[in-house]
Amino acid sequence: MKIDIIDYESCSAAGVNLSALRTSLKQHKSGLIKNNLPGSDLDTWIGLVEQINGVDDLGQWQSRNNALAALGYEQGTIRHTVSALISKYGAARIGLVMGSSTSSIDRTEEAYTKLNSDNGLTEAFKQPFVHNPHAPALFAAHLSGIKGPSLTINTACSSSAKVFATGARWLETGIVDAVLVGGVDTLCLSVLHGFNSLQLLSPNPCKPFDQHRDGINLGEASGFAVLQRAGENNNGRGITLAGYGESSDAHHMSHPHPDGLGARLSMTQALKRAALSPESVDYINLHGTSSRANDLIEGKLISELFPASVRCSSTKAWMGHTLGAAGITEAIIAMDTLHTNVIPGSKNLETLDEALDFSIKATDEEKVCQHVMTNSFGFGGNNCTLLFSRAE
């Protein structure tokens, strides 16, 4: 069954909304800045969304993560689209699937710095719906008024790619009539210093797939998309979710499988589900974190599975690796090429890793694409690949 994408919106350091993101991509203007996160002196670059600081009226829902979700939900026409679907089908017939990695751990960090004299939570931080792994979906339901089934997926960096697969299955089985899918993750000390302990952060702007790459930059983002069964709406974007693949090779907690076993499986599953050959794919938005191991393994897989005619790029140099929000952020960039007819280049790429040989360039390419793919590979071998196509 084909699934229509009837609306989508992105919010990150590269642009507070989709229109701003398109401008940043076109101008090759990165949103990365030198690390200035309060309490952190790490020498690295981050993708910070400054506008979050203006969202401070959430009451019992207040957290940086929820603030970014709220900011993203107000961009474009997402709120209007969801409200119209609720009016049409009823709030209980709309599903909600959110992906995240931190789930408002930023607020929990802050709470521990402001304990009362008995080392307990102060009243302002007694927020059971915030100090909660399910916080993103709980808050998104509060924002949207959706009363159908809701789920928060936390599979590290593949979290908000997997929301599309779950949403599609709910639609295929008739559980709901539409699904709001999303992802949100924000910068916090646990994340930034956790990745530093793994020796993965770069002191420089990241250079995915470059011979001289030396690590990743972290960022924050939120994104939303609305899914419906194909043919059941007249306001679609002309884009379908044609296929998806999910795998978990469980090779290691943080290191990818050396042969890319799970990553290969997620890509081949997506092609099979979409009934497409590798030659049919016009563009792949790669996971491309700029780490030595991840880029090498993914790059070799791409050259093995796809012909040189398939154009590839990594877009993490614009907003950083946004972890649990990376999946939907890059899915939106990939599917939006079907609207803009521009394949973004791989920013900061100067010299391709000498061990790799596939079609990737720093410059943009104007092309009318029919089928585009995006990869999201997470810790623990949690992988997801999505395929989007022009609607017939």
Report, in angstroms and rounded to the nearest whole number, the Rg of the chain calculated over CA atoms: 20
Whether 67 shows a pLDDT value over 70: the answer reads yes
Give me the percent of the chain exceeding a pLDDT of 90: 92
Here the tokens at position 295 are: 């880029």
- Digit-coded pLDDT (tens) for 356-389: 999 999 999 999 999 999 999 987 779 999 999 9
In this predicted structure, what is the pLDDT of residue 176? 98
> What angle is formed at CA 293 by the lines to CA 287 and CA 298, rounded to 5 degrees?
40
Please report the pLDDT score of residue 171 as a whole number: 98
Q: State the pLDDT confidence band at 232, using cuts at 50, 70 and 90.
A: confident
Cβ atoms of residues 295 and 302 within 8 Å = no
373: phi then psi, degrees, rounded to nearest 5: -130, 155
C-alpha–C-alpha distance, residues 49 and 39, integer Å? 17
Residue 58 clears pLDDT 90, i.e. is over it? yes
Specify the number of domains making up the chain.
1
Q: Residue 47 in contact with residue 13, Cβ under 8 Å?
A: yes
Output the six-digit token pair for 244: 């998806």
- Residue 250 backbone zone (phi > 0: left; psi -120 to 50: alpha; other: beta): left
The predicted pLDDT at position 249 comes to: 82
| pLDDT of 262 | 87
| pLDDT for the residue numbered 355 | 97
Question: pLDDT (tens digit, 9 = 90+) per residue, 186-225?
Answer: 999 999 999 999 999 999 999 999 999 999 999 999 999 9
Mean pLDDT of the chain: 95
For residue 331, how many C-alpha atoms fall within 13 Å in the half-sphere facing its CB? 41
User: Can you read off the two tokens belonging to residue 290?
Assistant: 């700029």
Which positions are annotated as active-site residues? 157, 287, 321
Residue 202: predicted pLDDT: 98
Q: Which residues contact 92 (CB under 8 A, 6 or more apart)?
A: 147, 148
Model pLDDT, residue 254: 62
The confidence score (pLDDT) of residue 1 equals: 78
Strand partners of residue 321: 218
User: Does residue 285 surpass a pLDDT of 90?
Assistant: yes
- Is residue 266 a contact partner of residue 385, using CB atoms and an 8 Å limit? yes
Question: What was the pLDDT predicted at 2?
Answer: 86
Model confidence pLDDT, tens digit, residues 173-188: 999 999 999 999 999 9
Q: Specify the CATH number for the domain of residue 363.
A: 3.40.47.10
With vertex at residue 1, the alpha carbon angle to CA 139 and CA 388, rounded to the nearest 5 degrees, is: 70
pLDDT above 90: residue 256: no
Tell me the DSSP string of 10-35: EEETTBSSHHHHHHHHHHT----EE-
The pLDDT value given to residue 150: 98
Specify burial of residue 142 (Cβ count, 10 A radius: 0-12, 13-18, 19+): middle
3-state secondary structure of 362: coil
- Residue 253 is predicted with a pLDDT of 66
Q: Give the integer Cα–Cα distance in Å for 154 and 176.
A: 22
**Which structure tokens are listed for 27?**
């101008």
pTM value is 0.96
* Neighbouring C-beta atoms of residue 255, cutoff 10 Å: 14
> Does residue 258 surpass a pLDDT of 90?
no
**Per-residue tokens: 96:** 């909600």
**Residue 317, helix vs strand vs coil:** helix
Q: Angle 291-297-302 (CA atoms, 0-180°, nearest 5)? A: 120
pLDDT of residue 89: 97
Q: Please report the pLDDT score of residue 214 as a whole number.
A: 96
Q: Residue range 157-167: average pLDDT? A: 97
- Residue 211 dihedral angles phi and psi, to the nearest 5°: -60, -30
Domain interval for residue 128: 3-390
Tell me: pLDDT of 235 over 70: no
